[in-house]
Chain A
């Protein structure tokens, strides 16, 4: 049984006050997250990541399609015994302290009083808020609230953790701690599904990622796999004559960069034999030839560019 199974999920929001018109925030998303996976959900602002997570937690209702978590339709209270959720920019009751908040939330789970206390103390430690446990939440900074949000998401030791931008608002130490936390969860066999803009986090943590753009899924797969597919080599040549360069140009992925008597040129893998042959016949001196692993940033931008050009750029509402 998959941890999360989403099929054909769509969400229309209505825009406009007088004349309501639907706006498709999520368009027929289908996705399967296996148990024990750390799954990254990437996409630019407004892609529909938060919308997807809110559909998965039953906070909003889908226009069409279905989603199940551990085989149960989403939104059933029982599902939340095994699912934890960190909302985007979480906010809690001003008048409570973190300790009171966690005590309050813990009462919703079938746990003994001692067990509730133990878990509360454990998560407060885990997110580094133990010393602030009695400070009212209204006096908390953004990053501290984020930590409270994470604490309440893992309070009941859920099998599946849904995190909406877990690193947002955190300082470098905090980010590092959350990374560690996600790896701990993975080591404990939990499934983690998180949305993020921070690609290095996705690169470091995720088994697989999905990329969403304007409500549509534009790519899903293992990161190393998807990156290798884009592989190319960077060649450095001793500066060639303009004629020679113009003969190389059709083989290159990007226009060559000439600087300091050297010429850098990026050649896609499939053109390499042809490129080497050309170098030999033209008598060009090759200094180095190294594979470039596309950075996730490049990959991301490339994929999104591809998905935007698939259809005429619709004026965003």
Chain B
């Protein structure tokens, strides 16, 4: 019963997203960007494929990020603000089901979007090369990592939107994303500095924020290099643990909240 209820919330979250016009605009933009990479490729002969993969994966990642943040900040807040939660939470469900359903629903949406954009990328790749090569499989790994990254972004958004306004949640999430992308640099900087406060701060940031740079293998993959299996495993575990902690925190906050 519980899982059927949560599934209903997941599917409704998905339905809300696909009925939002903004989503289609973003997907269309991403596809246009991928297509235009083919034009760039024509200018610089020889590295067409590298450019296509680089631009294509970046487009999937950036537009996925935009969609995740845009939809993520409203997941909980919109229902609180418009009071549609009152009717929903007076049904025999727990608040935690609401949070988990929203989280999974947005991830499902992102999975479908990413799949659509990936189809665009593969079509462009086929148009360019007229065949697929075995090492192209690692492009799927890059796309999988983008999905893991987006699940982290969703979890961050969901967590922030349990207590902050949409604008603040977007700012926090975006900041976390940017800092998390430079996590390794920040730690390196912290190791160089003499200042103990700065050292402490950078260490805290490094361990607290998700390490997004580990998920970015676009450049690597576009040069046709494979990704090691243990990296896939470690990244998967890392993302799942991080998601679980953030969602648990969101549940904890939301379950105690006065819905006034």
Chain B, Cβ-Cβ closest to A162: B90
Please state if A110 and B90 are interface contacts (CB–CB under 8 Å): no
Known contacts: A60-B260, A61-B258. The answer to whether A108 contacts B5 by CB under 8 A is yes
Please state if B83 and A87 are interface contacts (CB–CB under 8 Å): yes
Please state if B259 and A54 are interface contacts (CB–CB under 8 Å): yes
Query: What number of A residues sit within 8 Å (CB to CB) of B?
Result: 31
Choose the segment among A76-84, A175-183, A269-277, A289-297 that binds chain B (4+ C-beta atoms closer than 8 Å): A76-84
Please state if A80 and B258 are interface contacts (CB–CB under 8 Å): no
* B87 located at the interface, meaning its Cβ lies under 8 Å from any Cβ of chain A in the complex: yes
Please state if B4 and A107 are interface contacts (CB–CB under 8 Å): yes
Query: What number of B residues sit within 8 Å (CB to CB) of A?
Result: 26
What's the count of A-B pairs with C-beta under 8 Å? Answer: 75
Among candidates A81, A91, A107, residue contacting B82 with C-beta atoms closer than 8 Å:
A91
Closest CB-CB distance, A90 to chain B, in whole Å? 6
Cα of A250 to Cα of B155 in the assembled complex, Å: 74
Please state if B90 and A57 are interface contacts (CB–CB under 8 Å): yes
Chain A, Cβ-Cβ closest to B12: A104
Q: Determine the chain A residues whose CB is within 8 A of the CB of B87 once the complex forms.
A: 85, 87, 90, 92, 105, 149, 152
Cα of A61 to Cα of B257 in the assembled complex, Å: 8
* A58 located at the interface, meaning its Cβ lies under 8 Å from any Cβ of chain B in the complex: yes
Cα of A13 to Cα of B88 in the assembled complex, Å: 23
Q: Which residues of B, 81-118, contact A by the 8 Å Cβ criterion?
A: 82-94
Among candidates A60, A85, A89, A96, residue contacting B90 with C-beta atoms closer than 8 Å:
A85
Chain B, Cβ-Cβ closest to A95: B19
Please state if B93 and A90 are interface contacts (CB–CB under 8 Å): no
Please state if A77 and B92 are interface contacts (CB–CB under 8 Å): yes
Q: Determine the chain A residues whose CB is within 8 A of the CB of B8 once the complex forms.
A: 104, 107-108
Closest CB-CB distance, B20 to chain A, in whole Å? 8
Chain A, Cβ-Cβ closest to B17: A95
Interface residues of B (CB under 8 A from A): 1, 4-5, 8, 12, 15-16, 19-20, 82-94, 256, 258-260
Query: 4 smallest A-B Cβ distances: which pairs?
Result: A87-B86, A85-B90, A107-B8, A108-B91
23 A/B residue pairs, CB under 8 Å, sorted by A: A13-B260, A54-B259, A54-B260, A57-B90, A59-B85, A60-B259, A61-B256, A61-B258, A77-B91, A77-B94, A80-B93, A81-B92, A83-B90, A84-B90, A87-B86, A89-B83, A91-B84, A93-B84, A95-B15, A104-B8, A105-B87, A105-B88, A152-B87
